[in-house]
């Protein structure tokens, strides 16, 4: 998308996305970890959100809706979302002049790789998150994915809100 836009136009589009996404994530009790390129990373910490997997899925559904997925004219920004639940390091990294507060580890990597494999309008949720409180009442399809850096495939549930059946 960026290659078809002027840099200032793309920055404006991303600022709209980051504002909308931040409002949604914060409204669902997430911490905003960071903006990375065209990606927004939110953390749903169990100490803050008891049912963190369900909160993450709800935030994802709201973000898909806010970006126009499910609208007759289509999304103003096609996005895909990944949700995973697991243990991660959350704290300060870096030393000296450059430091950051972030989350790191396999759980974070899995979520990021899911997001990169999710198609527009798609929310991919690992079985780890699904079994810890995923919204079982939502229509979904099961899928097995190979993720870069993982020794074995991972089972996910694919949810959509744009009227296209999961897995199509």
Q: 49-106, pLDDT tens digit by residue?
A: 989 999 999 999 999 999 999 899 989 999 999 999 999 999 999 988 999 999 999 9
Q: Where are the alpha helices (DSSP H) in the chain?
A: 7-27, 52-66, 106-117, 127-131
State the average pLDDT over residues 127-152: 85
pLDDT of 107: 95
Alpha carbon distance 4, 69 (integer Å): 21
pLDDT exceeds cutoff 90 at 165: no
Nearest residue to 121 via CA among 73, 164, 58, 57: 164
Q: Which fold has domain 2-160?
A: Alpha-Beta Plaits (3.30.70)
In sequence order, what DSSP letters do the residues of 119-152 get, joined into one string?
PTTEEEEEHHHHHTT--TTS--EEEEE--TT-SS
| Closest alpha carbon to 58 in 73, 42, 71 | 42
**Residues 158, 166: contact at Cβ < 8 Å?**
yes
| Beta-sheet pairing, 80-83 with 122-126 | parallel
For residue range 107-119, list pLDDT tens digits in order. 999 999 999 999 9
What pLDDT score does 38 carry?
84
Strands 98-104 vs 89-95: parallel, antiparallel or unpaired: antiparallel
Which pLDDT score, from 0 to 100, does residue 2 have?
Answer: 82
Phi-psi map region of 78: left, alpha, beta (phi>0 left; psi -120 to 50 alpha): beta
30: pLDDT strictly greater than 80 = yes
Euclidean distance between CA atoms 138 and 159, whole angstroms: 8
Is the predicted pLDDT of residue 122 greater than 60, yes or no?
yes
The pair phi, psi for residue 4, each rounded to 5°, is -95, 5
Residue 164 scores a pLDDT above 50: no
């Amino acid at each position: 998308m960026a290659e078809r836009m002027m840099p200032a136009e793309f920055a404006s589009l991303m600022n709209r996305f980051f504002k909308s996404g931040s409002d949604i994530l914060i409204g669902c009790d997430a911490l905003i970890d960071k903006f990375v390129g065209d990606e927004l990373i939110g953390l749903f910490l169990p100490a803050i959100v008891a049912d963190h997997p369900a909160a993450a899925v709800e935030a994802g559904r709201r973000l898909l809706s806010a970006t126009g997925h499910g609208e007759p004219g289509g999304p103003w920004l096609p996005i895909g979302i990944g949700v995973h639940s697991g243990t991660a390091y959350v704290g300060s990294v870096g030393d000296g002049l450059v430091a950051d507060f972030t989350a790191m580890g396999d759980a974070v990597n899995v979520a990021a790789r899911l997001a990169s494999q999710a198609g527009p309008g798609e929310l991919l949720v690992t079985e780890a998150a699904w079994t810890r409180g995923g919204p079982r009442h939502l229509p979904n399809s099961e899928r097995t994915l190979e993720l870069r850096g993982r020794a074995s495939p991972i089972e996910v549930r694919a949810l959509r809100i744009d009227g296209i059946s999961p897995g199509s």
